[in-house]
Amino acid sequence: MNIDDLQGLLPLLTLAAGATALMLQIAFARNIKLTSFLAVATLLAATLSIVWAGESAPRFVTPLLRADKLALVFSALFCVAGAVTAILSMDYLNNRGDEPEEYFLLLVLSTLGACVLAYASHLASLLLGLELMSVSLYALIAYPDKTKLPLEAAIKYLVLSGAASATMLFGFALLYATTGTLQFSAMAQQLANIDTGNITLLVASVMIVTGLGFKLSLVPFHMWTPDVYDGAPAPVAGYLASVGKAAVFVVLVRWFIASNLFRFSILIDCIALLAILSMLAGNGLALLQTNIKRMLAYSSVAHMGYLVIILVVGSDLAHRPLAIEAGMYYLIAYTATTIAAFGLLTLLSAGKSQKENIQLHDVSGLFWHQPLYACLMLVALLSLAGIPLTAGFVAKFYLISSAVSDGRWILLGSLAIGSSIGIYYYLRVVFYMTRRVEEHKNIPEAAHGLIEKFMTCTLIASILLLGIVPQSLMEYLRSILQLVN
Amino acid sequence: MSGADTSLWPFVVYFFAVLALVATMLGLSWLLGQHRANAATNVPFESGALSVGSPQIHMAVEFYLIAIFFVIFDLETVFIFAWAVAFFELGWAGFISISIFILLLGVALVYELRSGALDWGIKTRSGAPTSTLTQEAQK
Amino acid sequence: MNSLSLIPALPLVSAVLLMIGSARLSKRVVAIFGVGSVGLSALIVASVAQDFLTTGEVQTATLWAWISVANFTPGIAFYIDGLTVVMMSVITGVGFLIHLYSVEFMESDESFARYFSYMNLFVAAMLLLVMADNLLLLYLGWEGVGVCSYLLVGFWYRDPNNGAAARKAFVVTRIGDTAMALGLFLLFTELGTLQIQPLMAAANVQWSGGGTLPVLATALLLGGAVGKSAQLPLHTWLPDAMAGPTPVSALIHAATMVTAGVYLIARTHELFLLAPATMQAIAWLGVATVLLAAFAALAQNDIKRILAYSTISQIGYMFLALGVGAFSAGIFHLMTHAFFKALLFLGAGAVIHCLHHEHNIFKMGGLRTRLPVVFASFLIGSAALAALPFTSGFYSKDSILLAAWALPDIGPILWAGGLLGALITAIYSFRLVFIVFFGEANTEPDKQVGWKIAVPLMVLCVLAAFGGWIGQPLSEVFPATADFHNVAHSVEYIGIAIPLIGLLIAYLVFLGGQLSVSKLTDSSLGKALQNFWRDGWRLDALYHNLLVRPFTGLARLCRNEPVDIFYNSIVSFLRWSHRGLVSLQTGELRWYATTMVFGLLLLVAIMLRNAS
């Protein structure tokens, strides 16, 4: 461990130090303003430290963590997403009272876990990051502990997540039994000599895929998603849906690439099956939802289905670079969009009315009394639906073109069917938002601070920029992924 | 497929053996047992003495909290022990690492103390243990 | 980012700002933003044009590549040559004047900011259209102006008629746009690029002249052009589009957007040169439109509808020019037409503005002394429209007719058609002048025009009068046209004389009264003809009977028929599967855990089945 190693780990160290400082601050001087400021400052400092950390990349810091550009890009994404979530939560928590300081501490810890996942190059660090992120999330979900729904959501997530982790650990054990290592690249050397029909290995990998697939809420491991999103506070649901999934997906991709699991075609077929099920069932479930949170939950199931297509496409070495690149871009676009969509729900339920579970009729007429927030939702929904000039379009475009180049027609067919169903339920929200409001209807009171307005504009701008000027980010991703591949 | 067959069949046998055992136990007791429903059929048998009170005793949550803290902190000693065994091999780097580790443990302990996790009484997150008496006094 | 990107960016930014701040900004600020942004763009365009005229170098600017997959790399890139410079100058120059004019015209409208934000957006989209170096970006601008046209035609959306007119404009042009999109797909699949210059180069190499592919591709592009430029048979939306505010008609439906089709053909002229059949079709379409619209204009009573039909007719001349290969003449006429037609529309707007929103020309009259500035501008505008000698319209129309004459075989027929059109143009334009500005006053103007209306009118007067002497830097862009100098002088003299004859007829009929046409118009045939022309040759009714009614009839027929059962069954299948899936979401933890276990078992079973 030398200075360069520490430099590579800088974002993780910053987050950990920030979390410690937050803990001490909460212990001695409880003050919500100070806490939220410290949390946002920590997250932003971690983001900035990535610039410096990049100088020593790429390098292995112990066999557990690999500080390369990919890890740094996604750490930056998670830190920024964490900061945005923290800022959007301020009003929300203020109006719910009851010592909200620990919320920010947990958020920083969860982000730390996500960043560890981005760095992970070893199954042990994968587990560490995953648990650090998830355990913080259990507490975050149950944070408004005065009502039943969040508690129910947290218990469900806790139990099922525990089961998923156990399955995954069993898979690790079997994998260790076959290969004798838990390190990704060392595993690759062992796997290269193993017959593609080796039963222990296949069962092991499928168990790990189950564990991670649970976190990604792939069908049939998706059942928890709507209930947990529904019960969780809106900002936490947004964080869980974006960072919680992106981090897991990054590590999944990294594991697949580093250990070259693409060789095992039957495993790839299984993933294709999960992708098809997720795309069809996710969209089918979302179709007539009137609860927007649940609708977004199902839509995230579908989006994860779209996303794992790239693992299938990546099994062909010729198309792997394009596929992985498309996947990484999709993750970034999806994270921004999801944060924006849940951000609107946060802002709407931030008011004194403490309205949770925004229904379709709650947003009706939003364009007329909250045009800015309605624009945020509009842009987010269009991006989720994949309409041109938004981030979602470019992401889906790359995804589809990589799948086309590999000739995965069944997956593409499901994607097309799923997307076209998706347009219905996304645009339904827009339709409700443009309705004229009846006179006597009470409108949920929304947050109206300057910071919230600023964040809204920033989110809108970033989604549009990702859709209009995607090329520089795309090229950057291409350049860093060449090193990873 | 053949390899899988040979390595799998003990598992299959085991699986069915378990099923058979459980089925036998349940089936036998059903076959041999009496099928009558008297007033005392569902009363637990405690050597003839009737059980008193509800078995669902509400334990104060503090017991669990303290037990959990004990488990956590006790587990952390494993790491310190591992360091102590290799004290000379690890040198200053190890010393610094373990110092940071212990410092973090200390911070966690301080946090728990300050937030009232170790106090007995009704809990709020701010750590101010408000007893039922003071709560009533506030009203 | 260089100054080129600022040209469309300024109006765009201003449009967005006005959209966001519409409720809060004062009218003054709105006007400063709305007019100022276009004005600044115009200044930048002027400097770009200056550079271009001195150096003569084609400028390109690639801002960024939008996406890049395999060989598909559409970029946000600009290509500035002589043609673009001309178009940009017209758009920002005339656009600025119209914006300035609008400040006064719209000052009492409650949606002042909305108006300017749409107008700015339109200017931005139109600039994008003409500056684009690839057809995809051009298409973006193309659709952008379409949307703005829709929004502005239906600007006073509380009147359902305006909404219907806006919808009509949108739907009818959509027919053309679909054809154009198909054309783009075809070009991309065949030639592998959408960048205009490489595309034309590739076409010249890969395609032989007169083959099926070039004809098909250009015909599809022509479809788009016909829709946008309101040519036969898709012209019916333009007269109805007059429902929008008059400056909108001046900017969008006279000076700029409707000429986008002409621009498109001129821009991709090398493709069209490979397809002589399409070229001939363009020429015939042009002449047919000229005549049809001119006769329709003759019978209108609504001042704006006269001008609308006149616009259709004048664009017909441009198409005629393109069809006979005289591209520079077409673009020249585009420019002069932008000047005098904008002038006429703005003049008409001023009349309407001062006469309590009166549109019927027979309720006007005698405005010569009451609105002298407007009278002067109308006079000059009509003179240019009628192509009286030495006005701007004369030079451009003359070169078109000469080019048509010079074409072998069909040339003289086209020329004769154009000439007949010119005669009628002169008649209807001076009919308008004589009825509105001479004779007895029927309505008294309730206000006079202010400087914001007068200045644009005067500037446009100068341009309409002397715009014919503006040289255009188009020689590098288009192939040289045939030499006209050996054309018999008699042909030229006829061209000069015809508008004068038209003027004379108009004078005799509508002002002097020496030539009475009442016998003609009162006869049953004359009346019928007049009504027929007034309704635009009843094409609307024809389309309604020929297309809309069979379509709705078919739709009604199919309402409960097998076709629908198919689609309905998709819907009910989706609903059914949704319900089925949702019923699985019981909310019970153990059921959720069970599904996970079964999912895992399924995967493991697949593995076991396939393990060796």
Chain position carrying tokens 């108009």: C506
- Which residues does chain C have within 8 Å of residue B3's beta carbon, measured at their own beta carbons? 611-612
The pLDDT, as a whole number, for residue B139 is 41
A48: number of Cβ within 10 Å: 15
Give this complex's ipTM. 0.90
Cα C3 to chain centroid distance, Å, stands at 27
Predicted confidence (pLDDT) at residue B1 exceeds the cutoff of 60: no
How far apart CA C262 and CA C338 sit, in angstroms, is: 13
Residue C534, pLDDT > 80, answer: no
Query: Per-residue DSSP letters for A123-138?
Result: HHHHHHHHHHHHHHHH
- Express each pLDDT in C102-113 by its tens digit: 888 888 888 888
- What's the average model confidence in pLDDT over C489-501? 79
Q: Which residues of B touch C601 (CB under 8 A)?
A: none
C134 close to C72: Cβ distance less than 8 angstroms: no
Contacts of residue B43, Cβ cutoff 8 Å, sequence gap at least 6 = B50, B51
What is the pLDDT at residue A311?
92
Whether the per-residue pLDDT at B124 is higher than 80: the answer is no
Length of chain A: 485
- Chain A residue at shortest CA distance from C72: A401
Instruction: State which residue of chain C sits closest to A210, comparing Cα positions.
Output: C600
**What whole-number distance in Å separates Cα of residue A445 and Cα of residue A186?**
55
C458 contact partners, CB below 8 Å, separation of at least 6: C373, C377
Find the Cα–Cα–Cα–Cα dihedral A197, A203, A208, A212, rounded to 10°: 90
pLDDT surpasses 50 at B136: no
Which chain C residues touch A if contact means CB-CB below 8 Å?
A: 20, 64-70, 76, 574-575, 577-578, 581-582, 584-585, 587, 589, 591-593, 595-596, 598-600, 602-604, 606-608, 610-612
Angle between helix axes C327-354 and C372-385 (nearest 10 degrees) is 150
Distance CA C281, CA C598 (A): 67
Task: Taking residues C170-191, report their average pLDDT.
Answer: 88
pLDDT tens string C406-462: 777 787 888 888 888 888 888 888 888 888 887 777 777 777 777 888 888 888 888
Q: Using 50, 70 and 90 to split pLDDT, how confident is the model at B56? A: confident
Yes or no, beta carbons of C612 and B8 under 8 Å apart: no
Helices (H), C441-488: 451-466
Report whether the peptide linkage leading into residue C233 is cis, meaning its omega lies within 30 degrees of zero: yes
Q: Which residues of B touch C608 (CB under 8 A)?
A: 4, 8
Pair C152, C252: CB distance under 8 Å: yes
Which string of DSSP letters, residue by residue, matches C10-68?
HHHHHHHHHHHTTTTS-HHHHHHHHHHHHHHHHHHHHHHHHHHHHH-PPEEEEEEES--
Chain B residues with a Cβ under 8 Å from any Cβ in chain C: 1, 3-4, 8
Domain extent listing, chain A: 3-481
β-pairing verdict for C59-65 and C75-80 = antiparallel
Choose, out of C604, C606, C607, C612, the residue to mutate when testing the contact with B (most B CBs < 10 Å): C612
Residues of B in Cβ contact (< 8 Å) with C611? 1, 3-4
Q: Residue A440 pLDDT more than 60? A: no
Rounded Cα–Cα distance for residues A285 and A267 (Å): 26
Residue C407 burial by CB count (10 A; 0-12/13-18/19+): exposed, middle or buried? buried
For residue C106 the two structure tokens come to: 């719209």
- Nearest CA-CA distance, residue C539 and chain A, Å: 36
Q: pLDDT of C563-602, one tens digit each?
A: 677 878 888 888 999 899 888 888 889 899 999 999 999 9
Write down the pLDDT at residue C517. Answer: 66
Residue C400 has pLDDT above 70, yes or no: yes
Q: Band of the pLDDT at A44, cuts 50, 70, 90?
A: very high
A27 interfaces chain B, CB cutoff of 8 Å: yes
Give pLDDT tens digits for A228-285: 999 998 999 999 999 999 999 999 999 999 888 888 888 999 999 999 999 999 999 9
Task: Tell me the per-residue pLDDT of C54-89, one tens digit each, with 9 for 90 and over.
Answer: 887 778 887 777 777 766 777 788 888 888 888 888
Determine whether the interchain pair B107/A98 forms a contact, defined as Cβ–Cβ distance below 8 Å: no
Q: What is the pLDDT of residue B128?
A: 53
Q: How far is Cα C592 from Cα A11, in angstroms, rounded to an integer? A: 37
Closest-CA distance, B129 to chain C, in angstroms, reads: 34
Q: Which residue has the tokens 């920033």?
A: A458
Residue A111 scores a pLDDT above 90: yes
Categorize the per-residue pLDDT at C520 as very low, low, confident or very high, splitting at 50, 70 and 90. low
Question: CB of B114 within 8 Å of any CB in chain A?
Answer: yes
Number of neighbours of residue B16 by Cβ within 10 angstroms = 10
Among all chains, which residue has been given the structure tokens 């690759």?
A188
Q: Longest Cα pair distance anywhere in chain C, in angstroms?
A: 106
Weakest-pLDDT range from B85-89, B95-99, C95-99, C358-362: C358-362
C607 contact B CB<8A: no
Token pair of B22 as six digits: 């459980």
Work out the pLDDT band at B138, boundaries 50, 70, 90.
Answer: very low
Whether C608 and chain B come into contact, CB under 8 Å, resolves to: yes
Nearest-CA neighbor of C331 among C215, C476, C499?
C476
Chain A residue with minimum CA distance to B113: A27
Residue A3 contacts B, CB cutoff 8 Å:
no
Domain coordinates in residue numbering, chain B = 61-115
pLDDT (mean) for B115-127: 69
Q: Dihedral of the CA atoms C294, C299, C304, C305 (nearest 10)?
A: -70
Q: Tell me which residue in A27, A98, A99 faces B111 most closely, judged by beta carbons.
A: A27
Interface contact flag, A24 B107, Cβ < 8 Å: yes
A293-342: per-residue pLDDT in tens? 999 999 999 999 999 999 999 888 888 888 898 999 999 999 999 999 99
Least confident interval from C235-244, C337-346, C472-481? C472-481
Q: Tokens 């390369």 label which residue? A: A68
- Please identify among residues 70-99 of chain B the ones whose CB lies closer than 8 Å to any CB of chain A: 93
Look at C611 and B4 and tell me if their CB atoms are within 8 Å. Answer: yes
Mutate to test the interface with B, among A1, A5, A26 (most CBs of B within 10 A): A26
Please enumerate in sequence order all residues whose Cβ is within 8 A of that of C612, keeping only pairs 6 or more positions apart, or say none.
A195, A196, A197, A198, A199, B1, B3, B4
Share of chain B above pLDDT 70, in %: 82
For residues A85 and A340, what is the distance between their CA atoms, to the nearest angstrom? 10
Which of A:401-440 have CB within 8 Å of C? 401, 405, 421
Q: Which two tokens stand for residue C121?
A: 């957006």
- For the CA atoms of A52, A56, A61, A67, what is the dihedral angle to 10 degrees? 70
Confidence of residue C486 (pLDDT cuts 50, 70, 90): low
How close, in Å, is residue B55 to chain A by CA atoms? Answer: 24
Tokens 């190059």 correspond to A121
Alpha helices in C192-323 (DSSP H): 196-206, 212-228, 237-240, 246-250, 260-267, 269-273, 276-298, 303-323
Alpha helices in chain B (DSSP H): 2-32, 61-85, 87-114, 132-138
Lowest mean per-residue pLDDT among A254-263, C27-36, C181-190, C499-508: C499-508
How far out from the chain centre does Cα C8 lie?
Answer: 18
Lowest model confidence (mean pLDDT) among A39-53, C492-506, C567-581: C492-506
Task: Give the whole-angstrom CA distance, residue A125 versus residue A116.
Answer: 7
pLDDT, tens only, A124-160:
999 999 999 999 999 999 887 678 888 999 999 999 9
Out of C596, C603, C612, the one facing A163 most closely (by C-beta) is C596
**Architecture field, domain B61-115:** Up-down Bundle (1.20)
Distance separating alpha carbons of residues C101 and C248, to the nearest angstrom: 11
- Residue B132: pLDDT over 50: no
Residue C519: predicted pLDDT: 64
* Residue of A121, A122, A5, A11 whose CA lies nearest to A74: A11
DSSP B100-139: HHHHHHHHHHHHHHHTTTTS-S---TT-----HHHHHHH-
Closest CA to A256 of A208, A217, A319, A306: A208
Q: How confident is the model at residue B134 (pLDDT cuts 50, 70, 90)?
A: very low
Cis peptide before C198 (omega within 30 of 0): no
